[in-house]
Amino acid sequence: MAEPTTKKSKTDHRIGEGVLLGLGNPLLDISTTCDKDFLEKYGLKPNDAILAEEKHHKMYTEMVEKFDVEYIAGGATQNTIRVAQWILGVPNATSYFGCVGKDKFGDTLKAKAEEAGVRVHYQYDEKEPTGTCAVLLTGHDRSLCAYLAAANCYNKDHLVLPENWEFVKAAKVIYVGGFHLTVAPPAIQALGQHAFEENKTFCLNLSAPFLCQFFKEPMMAAMPYVDVLFGNETEAATFSKEQNFETENVKEIALKMCSLPKKNDKKSRIVVITQGTDPVLVAKDGNVTEYEINKIPAKDIEDTNGAGDAFAGGFLAQLVQGKPIEECVRCGNYAANYIIKQSGVKTPDKCDFK
């Protein structure tokens, strides 16, 4: 597909089935509002994302017993794909791969995704339960603690099955959430290599600071394939430190990310950094452009969980149509603004983005 430009595209990019494909960790979110004492009890920060350790295992039960909880189909990448599907509005325009358990939570995730129009291709693990993610809200902050369980069992063998690889071949844009770097790097490499060989667009999200720190080997192994890199200012700062960029300036970091080795020289790498209420930064070809966001009054913000996922979904929905970068960012901001007014990543039947 033609990469986005700063000029209006005249190409007719018809939205076909499976044009956008995602690989990630399908999780059932258990969401609740809590106090800071509860966070401190389990060593959690107000605005962070981590993987559960043994000390967190009792927390999920305590959440259900102590608070009013809401169950929401989640997992960062699945959220992004669901939002993109909502905006595209064409049934089965998106596909998604990940691993769940053979249980009711897995059935719920599949039903929610298909209800949204996403074609899911789950690998089913016989032993592990479907993964869950604690979403702990304190004010406008949210702390995520993911117990991957079956999501941690995905493997490349499932991806390359002939019937599954057909969906990979159908995709124009491939999106991988950074959280999957902890699960199946060989599957990510296979998707990256396919995108390189077929001149498709391969996208990666940094997803969380700890991934830039502790999973930088698989992250940097995937980086040469990356055509579009997503992240926020905190992830960018951690990435800069770990890669010895010797700068805390987000614009400089974005440009250095652009300059990292890249396999496909037919298209320039685009780096997209969100900064909360500050402008979105887009780096490409040695230049950084700022895009202002539409700020929402604090009283209208319900839940910031999923804002980054939604932004990526909105951006990708325009990217697969060959739209200009500014349209991709505008749609990303539209999606993020909509989602933070909801509790969890929920979308109505129709999208009114124009």
CA 344 to chain centroid, in Å, comes to 14
Q: How far is CA 282 from CA 239, 250, 254, 272, in A?
A: 16, 11, 8, 5
Dist. CA 29–CA 70, nearest whole Å: 8
Q: 3-state class of 354 per DSSP?
A: coil
The helix, strand and coil proportions of the chain, stated in percent and rounded to the nearest 5, come to 40, 25, 35
Q: 3-state class of 353 per DSSP?
A: coil
Q: Which of 157, 303, 309, 352 is catalytic?
A: 309
In which region does residue 207 sit, left (phi positive, over 0), alpha (psi from -120 to 50) or beta (all else)?
A: left
- In this structure, the dihedral spanned by the alpha carbons of residues 39, 205, 237 and 302, taken in order and rounded to 10 degrees, is -40
Continuous segment of H or E residues that includes residue 124: strand 119-125
Q: How far is CA 135 from CA 146, 147, 267, 313, in A?
A: 9, 11, 37, 20
Continuous segment of H or E residues that includes residue 147: strand 141-147
CB of 29 within 8 A of CB of 184? no
Quick check: is 309 catalytic? yes
Which amino acid is residue 151, in one-letter code? Answer: A
DSSP labels for 46-113? Answer: SSEEEE--GGGHHHHHHHHHHS--EEEEE-HHHHHHHHHHHHH-STT-EEEEEEEESSHHHHHHHHHH
Dist. CA 316–CA 83, nearest whole Å: 9
Q: Known catalytic residues?
A: 309
